[in-house]
Amino acid sequence: MKQKFLQSAFLADFRKLAAETTRGCIVLERPDLLKKLVEAHGARDVTARQTALAELGAMTVRTSQHNPVAEVPEKNVFYRVAKRLFFNDFGAYAGHDAHHAQASRPRC
C-alpha cells in the first residue's frame, strides 16, 4: 500500500501541481487545474455520487488564504509561536513563493 502512494505518477503530479500553484486547498483555489490533472491521468471517480469531475468543472477559482499583503494578524502570542514551529507546511512550498504569486492568481 505504501508503495502505491510513493510510486503513483498521479500523486506525484498532484503534489507538484499543488505546491507550485496553491498555498492551501487546490480544490478551492485551482479546481480548473485539478480537473485537467484528473483528466490527463484518467483518474477514476470513486465518490458515492460519481459527480466529482462535473463538480470541479462547475467550481469557480477562488483566491488563496495565503495573502502576505493583507494578512490577518494573530493576537495570541502562543498561537503565533506554535504556528511558526509546527504548522509550516513541512517544506512543501519551499522555493515556490516567488512563483506562487503568479501561478495561483485567479484568472477570472
| Mean pLDDT calculated for residue range 10-28 | 87
Q: Give the residue ranges of DSSP H helices in the chain.
A: 2-7, 9-21, 26-29, 31-41, 52-58, 77-86, 97-103
Model confidence at 25: pLDDT above 60? yes
Evaluate if residue 70 carries a pLDDT over 80: no
Q: What is the pLDDT of residue 43?
A: 93
Helix axes 9-21, 31-41, angle to 10 degrees: 160
**Higher local confidence (pLDDT), 75 or 99:** 75
The overall average pLDDT reported for the chain is: 80
Q: Any residues with CB less than 8 A from the CB of 41 and at least 6 apart, and which?
A: 9, 10, 13
